[in-house]
Amino acid sequence: MSTVKTLYTDLPEAFFQQLKGIRLLVCDVDGVFSDGRIYLGNQGEELKAFHTRDGYGVKALVNAGIEVAVITGRRSVIVKDRMTSLKVSHIIQGEENKADALAALITSLGLTKEQVAAIGDDMPDTGMFNHSAVNIAVQDAHPQVIQQANWITTLPGGFGAVREVCDTLLQANDALQGILGASV
C-alpha cells in the first residue's frame, strides 16, 4: 500500500486523496481545541486554554475556502469569542445531539457526507461520524472514539491536534505553502 508523507505522519494514498474533497471541518471544542479541562473560578468565571497554532491553522483553512464549524454540548462566551476571532462561520453551542446538528448544517450548506471531516475526543462526538466521511480522533481521545475513527492525530487535543488536521487538509489541497498571516 502506498503512502503520502505529511508534516506529521504517513497516510495511505487513497485516504490522502479523499482529503482533497473535504469542504467542511467540524470540530468539538472541549478536548479538541482545548485539553478538555475547564477551570472554574470562585466568582463563577470559566477559563479555557486554546493553542495559538490551532487558531492559525483554522484561519488558514478558512482562507483556503474550507468551511470550519464547531459543535459543542456546552455554552460559553469564551468559545463564541474565540471562534469568532478565527472567522469560524458556524458556531453551534449547547447541542447535545451533535449528529442532528451536523446533519442540519450539511443540508444548509448543500454538502454531502463525502465532503465532511469531523474531529472529536469523547463519545458525544461519535454521532458526528455518522455524517462525515473522515472521522478523526485526537491522539488522547476516549478509546471508543479511537476505535470509530479512520484518522488518529499524532498530537493530543489542546496541543496542536486541530493544526495537524488543518495542515494536512491544506497539504492535500496544495495550499500548505500559501499560509500567511499572524498567529492568533
Residue 37 CB neighbour total at 10 angstroms: 11
What is the C-alpha separation between 107 and 95, in angstroms, rounded?
17
Count of residues making up the chain: 184
What residue ranges do the domains of the chain occupy? 20-176
Identify the CATH number of the domain defined by range 20-176.
3.40.50.1000
Q: What is the pLDDT of residues 135-183, one digit of tens each?
A: 999 999 999 999 999 999 999 999 999 999 999 999 999 988 766 666 6
Q: Which three cell numbers stand for residue 15?
A: 485516504
Dihedral of CA atoms 125, 74, 37, 69 in degrees, nearest 10, equals 60
Q: What is the pLDDT of residues 31-89, one digit of tens each?
A: 999 999 988 889 988 888 999 999 999 999 999 999 999 999 999 999 999 999 999 99
177/167 Cα distance (integer angstroms): 10
* pLDDT exceeds cutoff 90 at 184: no
pTM of the full predicted structure? 0.94
pLDDT tens digits, one per residue of 113-131? 999 999 999 999 999 999 9
